[in-house]
Amino acid sequence: NAGVTQTPKFRILKIGQSMTLQCAQDMNHNYMYWYRQDPGMGLKLIYYSVGAGITDKGEVPNGYNVSRSTTEDFPLRLELAAPSQTSVYFCASSTRLAGGYEQFFGPGTRLTVL
Amino acid sequence: QKEVEQDPGPLSVPEGAIVSLNCTYSNSAFQYFMWYRQYSRKGPELLMYTYSSGNKEDGRFTAQVDKSSKYISLFIRDSQPSDSATYLCAMWEGGFQKLVFGTGTRLLVSP
């Protein structure tokens, strides 16, 4: 199992450009998430999905869009990039544990908007 | 007030020390409590999880939950340089799978 994979690892964008961050998981998890992590701010939930075709907003969805056409893939779209979107982006998927559940994280995408 | 508070550190200790990492929270509905470890430039990985109050031990790691005080702790015994990482607490009410994370505490263990 590759687990959760993310591409690209790094990207520099100019203000106003758009891009898609790719995320894929091979564990057949229904739940998938996108977070951003800023220094000293912890992980903030951007969007999540409970299954193919079903997505919903998290805490900080403005400036982002998602789609979920398959169980495996959950891409995050940035439209009109702004410097405030400079961050590290993590994709995660989750499965139920006895007495809880575990989120598996990808390696992250470091995005800089200049 | 943030739902979950965690001291960002850094916390610097010598090898072999006992480390105590802590989080406080305000939402009394949280039932599940987790600790994630995040190495530099990597994604977080689940270290331990507990349900409700009490202790849970796994090797050198002990997770403790005190729901009456809304306080959770992670203890690391005989700390090693390889334990140097950021430790994030995370909490969940149950039902829909949405975690609330602390900001993380950076731990540095020197040889």
Question: pLDDT of B35-78, one tens digit each?
Answer: 999 999 999 999 998 887 889 999 999 999 999 999 999 999 99
Give every CB contact of residue B59 below 8 A, 6+ residues apart in sequence: none
Q: Tell me if A95 sits within 8 A of A33, measured CB to CB.
A: no
Those residues of chain A whose CB sits closer than 8 Å to some CB in chain B are 4, 31, 40-43, 45, 48, 50, 58, 90, 92, 94, 97, 99-108
Cβ distance of A92 and B45 shorter than 8 Å: no
Give yes or no for residue A71 having a pLDDT over 90.
yes
Strands (E), chain A: 4-7, 10-13, 19-25, 31-38, 42-51, 54-57, 64-66, 76-78, 87-97, 100-105, 109-113
Maximum C-alpha span of chain B: 43
Strands (E), B2-99: 4-6, 11-14, 19-25, 32-38, 45-51, 54-58, 61-66, 71-76, 85-92
Contacts of A45 in chain B (CB under 8 A): 98
Cβ distance of A94 and B42 shorter than 8 Å: no
Give yes or no for residue A95 having a pLDDT over 90.
no
Cβ distance of B32 and A92 shorter than 8 Å: no
- For B9, which residue in chain A has the nearest alpha carbon? A40
Supply the pLDDT for residue B97. Answer: 66
Q: Percent of chain A beyond pLDDT 90?
A: 81
Cβ distance of A42 and B6 shorter than 8 Å: yes
Average confidence (pLDDT) over B6-20: 95
Q: Percent of chain B beyond pLDDT 90?
A: 74
Cβ distance of A41 and B44 shorter than 8 Å: no
- 3-class DSSP state for residue A84? helix
Q: Percent of chain B beyond pLDDT 70?
A: 97
Supply the pLDDT for residue A99. Answer: 61
Rounded alpha-carbon distances, angstroms, from residue A32 to A108, A110, B78, B110: 14, 19, 36, 37
Q: Closest Cα of chain B to A82: distance in Å?
A: 23
With cut-offs at 50, 70 and 90, classify the pLDDT of residue B96.
Answer: low
User: How many Cβ atoms from other residues are within 10 Å of residue B67's Cβ?
Assistant: 15
Q: Closest Cα of chain A to B27: distance in Å?
A: 17
Cβ distance of A100 and B101 shorter than 8 Å: no
With cut-offs at 50, 70 and 90, classify the pLDDT of residue A25.
Answer: very high
Interface test with B, best of A21, A27, A37 (most B CBs within 10 A): A37
Supply the pLDDT for residue A98. Answer: 63
